[in-house]
A and B are shown apart, each in its own frame.
Chain A
């Protein structure tokens, strides 16, 4: 099968959806002439014109508000917030408008917007270009959060998100844009809310997403070959709502769980998954649930600061040994 990188897969999804559905429009900072700060929207302006592909001023609140309004009128806006850290500038629009419109207006309207944004650490970009922001939105009913980890899923989930009738925050880990993988040429939508078992195993369940998923797979490979520990690795793919059934059935089998997420530990999605496991699979556990997260400090600039704070494969390996040795 043909190979694309993550960025190209996203770009193809946008081209295909804009071709097949004239309701899809794209707006954001530098998305038109430049084709996006990371190149994800390349070529859309030339193909679809200025009405449907719009560069905006530095106005995140107006971008998301405009996306909401256009969605109310039947369009399918895909808005880009260049860095997830900037989403604070439109937090009100997402939390108080996108998420609630359908509910407070009694189903009279939908807000089927997709907010694409680059998140995650590793770029040495420090405090305002490195954060993982999903936990800021986990507590908001009405929102959906999608977070692919491979080019294949990036394309399928972006198409799935555009076709979904709910407001979707679509996280693109910036360290994954250059990663490659097999991507079918035809359009395909992957379901929202469905995780994938990336590597079957019997001893420990590792739940991860985005860049950390690759660290989890690397750790699982090493643990299998060097220590004969069999890890089952689950890629969440959707963070909200996350796929409880897949996680719980794996926990039932292994009885030992390591949750991996790049955001700071306190209040991260790992806390929520751990709580669900406690509520629904406590008796299946052979060891306490172990969490691997960033430390509860900001993402600093000097490489040594960032590397110390952000989890890596070694942290996952240690956590697995801990639940095995319990």
Chain B
């Protein structure tokens, strides 16, 4: 069943928000505003938006390595996510997390971990807690194709299989782990099939089709909420940028990048909206302008916010035990 007008317009706004967020981050990384590494998710917006549309209050999400978009989908104000990436005290983690560790526990974002596969073990515990506490919470665990090589991928799926853990594994297959092709790193073209060994069903979906992504995510989420266990949804997509901002990605054929850019998930949704006569160009432009205001507000907030202080370096090492400074 096709999604209704309001839902599709909502997806459109969110996907444009993520796109503009990432573009703004890249621009300001180049200008020197952003410390450290920056992994962008341009091109992967449908995978993030379509999945997170099934996220409900009380659920948990563990974002992946290019996950700013996911962090924006739990209700955290855009300015707090952006300020975090800028390393500012007003960010979600007070500026001590950065691009790779944006977390907002009260809204269910349990944070990314910069070591691939690590969150899969954490996800087992979030899901286990839901079982022990008898809540209906579902854990959304975003991972990439590269993660399939990690031991934790297999240990965690095995545990999810035997304990029927309420987890939705969102395997965003963008074809590359830095320069290594997924097809060179793994023996299956469709990585969702990896779940077979662990009795965790998997489905492979066009990750640039937000409606298809949402349909698969909804089925997986419903399954988890009914207590029937975990599912892998593999979303085939592509990252337009290199691995990190500044990586020229010369390991990819130009023709391949061009082909995927033509499959832009946002353009695709725009075409759908126009073809189905659910919106006209003026309506879409109004959404884009609204997003732009949000981005510019967040940008000003991020630039103007203070950095953490050196006192902050000594807090939260232990609960109830002091550490000494210089």
B-contacting residues of A (Cβ < 8 Å)? Answer: 25, 27, 51-52, 54, 56-57, 59, 61-62, 64-75, 77, 92-93, 96-97, 101-110, 112, 141-142, 144, 164-166, 193, 241
* Extra A-B contacts (9), CB below 8 Å, given A61-B152, A64-B121, A164-B320: A27-B128, A68-B122, A68-B125, A102-B316, A104-B93, A104-B96, A104-B97, A141-B317, A166-B319
A21 to B152, CA, bound (A): 30
Measured CB to CB, the closest approach of chain A to B286, in angstroms, equals 36
Q: Is the interface of B mostly helix, strand, loop or mixed?
A: helix
A105 x B155 contact (CB < 8 A) = no
B127 x A106 contact (CB < 8 A) = no
Q: List A contacts of B237 (CB < 8 A).
A: none
Residue of chain B at shortest CB distance from A75: B129
Residue of chain A at shortest CB distance from B133: A73
The 9 closest A-B pairs by CB, nearest first: A65-B121, A69-B125, A73-B129, A165-B319, A59-B155, A62-B155, A66-B125, A70-B125, A66-B124
Which of A52, A59, A66, A109 is B105 in contact with, Cβ under 8 Å?
A109
A66 x B128 contact (CB < 8 A) = yes
Measured CB to CB, the closest approach of chain A to B92, in angstroms, equals 8
A142 x B318 contact (CB < 8 A) = yes
Q: List A contacts of B96 (CB < 8 A).
A: 103-104, 106
Measured CB to CB, the closest approach of chain B to A137, in angstroms, equals 14
The answer, yes or no, to whether B118 is at the interface (CB within 8 Å) is yes
Measured CB to CB, the closest approach of chain A to B157, in angstroms, equals 9
Residue of chain A at shortest CB distance from B157: A62
A302 to B106, CA, bound (A): 55
A69 to B106, CA, bound (A): 15
Q: Which of B115-162 contact A (CB under 8 A)?
A: 115, 118, 120-133, 151-152, 155-156, 158-159, 162
Known A-B contacts A106-B93, A166-B318; A65 and B125 likewise in contact (beta carbons under 8 Å): yes
Q: List B contacts of A25 (CB < 8 A).
A: 128, 132
A188 to B195, CA, bound (A): 46
13 A/B residue pairs, CB under 8 Å, sorted by A: A27-B128, A65-B118, A65-B152, A66-B128, A67-B125, A69-B122, A69-B129, A70-B132, A73-B129, A96-B113, A142-B317, A144-B318, A165-B319
Which of B121, B126, B316 is A62 in contact with, Cβ under 8 Å?
B121
Q: List A contacts of B293 (CB < 8 A).
A: none
Q: List B contacts of A102 (CB < 8 A).
A: 316-319
A93 x B317 contact (CB < 8 A) = no
B319 x A61 contact (CB < 8 A) = no
Measured CB to CB, the closest approach of chain A to B292, in angstroms, equals 29
Q: Mark B307-325, 1 if CB is under 8 A from A, else 0.
A: 0000000011111110100
A97 x B105 contact (CB < 8 A) = no
Interface centre among A59, A77, A102 (most CB of B within 10 A): A59
The answer, yes or no, to whether B49 is at the interface (CB within 8 Å) is no
Q: Which of B273-316 contact A (CB under 8 A)?
A: 315-316
